[in-house]
Chains A and B, each alone.
Chain A
Amino acid sequence: KNQVEQSPQSLIILEGKNCTLQCNYTVSPFSNLRWYKQDTGRGPVSLTIMTFSENTKSNGRYTATLDADTKQSSLHITASQLSDSASYICVVSAEKYGNKLVFGAGTILRVKS
């Protein structure tokens, strides 16, 4: 069982609408949680990094939240644009404790006009 589970696997929304992607993890302890955006045919690009003591982090229309008690994170996208169509990957880092990054399988988001 993957230590980082993302839901939904895929999502289609209309341009201008908001959406929320979920990430549940079992990695423990961990030092930070990251969200990456991966456009089709490109490498992942970092959106946010949160340490275990942070509850929320924003990057433009992207807002990530973290609940370390329930081991859940979410990525909220506001006023979606066609360019938001991509795969969004949740990554948990336990490197401070001698382990490596654990990647989720990603949520594929399609924004349609």
Chain B
Amino acid sequence: NAGVTQTPKFQVLKTGQSMTLQCAQDMNHNSMYWYRQDPGMGLRLIYYSASEGTTDKGEVPNGYNVSRLNKREFSLRLESAAPSQTSVYFCASRQISNQPQHFGDGTRLSIL
């Protein structure tokens, strides 16, 4: 089982460039999430999608946009990358709220 697949695994961007991070899950989960993980800090929620067709802001949404393309796929877009967005980005999914989230292995993004 693939679980949650994120692409790419690594990316280096220049300030001002745009990029879309891809996430797909094969567990038929309703909810999907995007987090960023920075050194010394807990995972912070950027955006989430409680179900297909809906998206909502999380704790740190500024500078990002998302698209829930279908039940399987949830993408995160940086329109104009900034050095402060250098981070490791994780996508997660789950079926219902009292179940654990399943995480992908992350995208390591560096913005110069």
| Chain A residues packing against B (C-beta within 8 Å) | 2, 4, 31-32, 34, 36, 41-46, 49, 89, 93, 95-96, 100-106
CB neighbours of B90 from chain A (8 A):
43-44
Is the pair B100, A95 in contact by a Cβ cutoff of 8 Å?
Answer: no
**CB within 8 Å for A105 and B59 given contacts A43-B103, A49-B100, A95-B97:** no
CB neighbours of B43 from chain A (8 A):
44, 89, 103
CB neighbours of B59 from chain A (8 A):
100
- Interface SS majority for chain B: loop
A83 → chain B closest CB, angstroms: 17
| Chain B residues packing against A (C-beta within 8 Å) | 4, 40-45, 48, 58-59, 90, 92, 97-98, 100-106
Is the pair B100, A43 in contact by a Cβ cutoff of 8 Å?
Answer: no
A–B complex contacts, Cβ < 8 Å, 25 sampled? A2-B42, A4-B42, A31-B98, A34-B100, A41-B105, A42-B105, A42-B106, A43-B103, A43-B105, A43-B106, A44-B90, A44-B103, A46-B100, A46-B101, A89-B43, A93-B97, A95-B97, A96-B97, A100-B45, A100-B58, A100-B59, A101-B101, A103-B43, A105-B40, A105-B42
Of chain B, the residue at the smallest CB distance from A9 is: B40
Is the pair B41, A105 in contact by a Cβ cutoff of 8 Å?
Answer: yes
CB neighbours of A32 from chain B (8 A):
98
Closest 9 CB pairs of A and B: A43-B103, A103-B42, A46-B100, A103-B43, A95-B97, A43-B105, A105-B42, A44-B103, A42-B105
9 more A-B contacts (CB under 8 A) besides A43-B90, A105-B40, A105-B41? A36-B100, A41-B106, A44-B103, A45-B103, A49-B100, A100-B45, A100-B59, A102-B42, A106-B42
Of chain B, the residue at the smallest CB distance from A45 is: B103
CB neighbours of A102 from chain B (8 A):
42
CB neighbours of B103 from chain A (8 A):
43-45
